[in-house]
Structure formats: structure tokens, C-alpha cells
């Protein structure tokens, strides 16, 4: 299915118990970091604690290369290979905790995200939309290169996309560089998802993008 449509949903990719454990781990981490920042106990630019400066979804708590998520990136690799039929190399993981009012505007991903997953860890559900045509519907303006939280302009008549609903433990696999994807304004209270990114092992970016150009997994960019 993946090779034909360039996306596929895997139900129960993680057990609900494991997903719930990771969700609570991330919630504790967010709350602890918020507290330490308020008390000025940590440097806000410390890459190991995560931050609320995500340019794509301003205000949400996000973390690049959390050690648990990097382990999950490796753990899911053989499952990804089985489900997609592709030989893949890991690039990086990225986790967000979305809050009410957050928006993810329509976009395509950078080259390190040739084959990606969105895995729902917990909280309120938040559908993601994909345009399976692979067309470029975002109008490139100066806003694209500024704070990515700004609303993007979309061409008239752009496809409304396919809505994907994920339950706790479900995972969407998609070609992030080829398919535009987005989310409508979040109406829930909290939602945590982890993004696991891979490249084709025999593709043009395999050597340069291994571990997202880092010496190994688990360290900051």
C-alpha cells in the first residue's frame, strides 16, 4: 500500500501501555522544563531539555532527539522496512506536545524526512491531512522563510486532502518530502506525537543525511 499511495496507517504500532508510558514521560518532562525555566534554573538554549521555540508550531513544547525517541527510531526501523518494503536508514526523531489553538500549516518536509512517521502517544486526538496528489499547493512568499507559525498562502482549488485519524499507539507512515501535510487548529487540550524520520538506504541523501548529519543518534543537531 505504501509504495502505491505513499502513505499507510499502522494500527497499534505501539501498545497502548507503552504509548501511555512515553506520553506521561513527555508530559513530566514538559512540566519540569517549564518549571526550571520559570525559576531560571536552566539555560533556555540547552538543547537537551527541549523548548517552546518551535518555529513551525510556536508555543508548543518540542524536543529534537530525545534519547527515548531516538531509541524508538531504531526500534521501529525493522517494522518500517516490513510495512513499506523499503530499506531505510534513521535520520532523527522529533517530539511535540501540542496545546489548544496550535496549528500546523500545509507544508512538505526537508530531505531528512523522505519516509516519516507520525505516532500518536496520547492526549486528545488531532487529525492530520495529506494531499496524495503530491502537488505543490503552497504559494512561496516571504512568510515561508520567516516564523513558520504564520499562516501560509495556498493556491485556489488546492485539494482538501485525506483526513487521517490516529488512536493511541497508531502510526501514520508517509512520504514527507512528496506529500503536503497539515493540521487544522487544535481544539483539544493536549496532544503528544513523535515523528520518526528515515531516508532511503540507497537514495541520493543516504550518506549525507545518516543521523541527520550527526555523528550518531541521541545528540543535538
What pLDDT, on the 0 to 100 scale, is given for residue 221? 87
* Concatenated DSSP letters of 52-116: S--SSSTTSEEEES-HHHHHHHHHTHHHHHHHH---EEEEEEEEEEEETT--EEEE---GGGSEE
User: Rounded mean pLDDT of the chain?
Assistant: 93
Rounded Cα distance, 89 and 210, in Å = 7
> What pTM did the predictor assign?
0.93
pLDDT tens digit string along 169-182? 999 999 999 999 99
Rounded Cα distance, 210 and 88, in Å = 10
Q: Which CATH architecture has domain 2-213?
A: Sandwich (2.60)
Q: What angle do CA 209, 111, 3 make, to 5 degrees?
A: 105
What pLDDT, on the 0 to 100 scale, is given for residue 55? 87
What pLDDT, on the 0 to 100 scale, is given for residue 142? 57
Contact in structure between 183 and 193 (CB atoms under 8 Å): no
Report the 10 Å Cβ neighbour count for 192.
26
* Three-state helix/strand/coil letters over 23-61: HHHHHHHHHHHHHHHHCCCCCCCCCCCCECCCCCCCCCE
Please determine, for residue 127, whether its predicted confidence score (pLDDT) is greater than 60. yes
Closest Cα to residue 153, out of 170, 141, 169?
141
193: helix, strand or coil = strand
Amino acid at each position: 500500500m505504501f509504495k502505491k499511495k505513499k502513505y499507510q496507517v499502522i494500527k497499534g504500532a505501539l501498545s497502548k501501555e507503552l504509548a501511555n508510558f512515553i506520553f506521561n514521560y513527555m508530559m513530566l518532562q514538559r512540566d519540569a522544563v517549564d518549571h526550571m525555566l520559570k525559576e531560571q534554573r536552566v539555560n533556555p538554549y540547552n538543547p537537551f531539555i527541549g523548548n517552546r521555540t518551535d518555529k513551525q508550531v510556536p508555543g508548543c513544547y518540542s524536543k529534537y532527539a530525545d534519547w527515548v525517541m531516538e531509541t524508538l527510531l531504531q526500534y521501529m526501523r525493522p517494522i518500517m522496512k516490513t510495512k513499506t518494503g523499503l530499506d531505510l536508514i534513521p535520520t532523527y526523531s522529533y517530539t511535540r506536545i501540542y496545546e489548544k489553538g496550535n496549528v500546523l500549516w500545509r507544508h512538505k518536509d526537508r530531505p531528512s524526512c523522505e519516509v516519516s512517521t507520525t505516532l500518536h502517544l496520547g492526549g486528545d486526538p488531532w487529525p492530520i491531512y495529506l494531499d496524495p496528489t503530491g502537488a505543490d499547493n503552497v504559494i512561496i512568499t516571504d512568510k515561508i522563510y520567516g516564523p513558520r507559525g504564520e499562516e501560509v498562502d495556498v493556491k485556489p482549488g488546492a485539494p482538501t486532502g485525506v483526513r487521517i485519524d490516529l488512536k493511541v499507539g497508531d502510526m501514520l507512515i508517509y512520504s514527507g518530502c512528496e506529500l503536503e501535510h497539515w493540521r487544522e487548529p487544535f481544539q483539544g487540550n493536549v496532544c503528544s506525537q513523535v515523528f520518526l524520520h528515515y531516508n532511503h538506504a540507497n537514495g541520493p541523501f543516504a550518506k549525507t543525511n545518516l543521523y541527520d548529519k550527526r555523528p550518531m543518534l541521541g545528540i543535538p543537531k
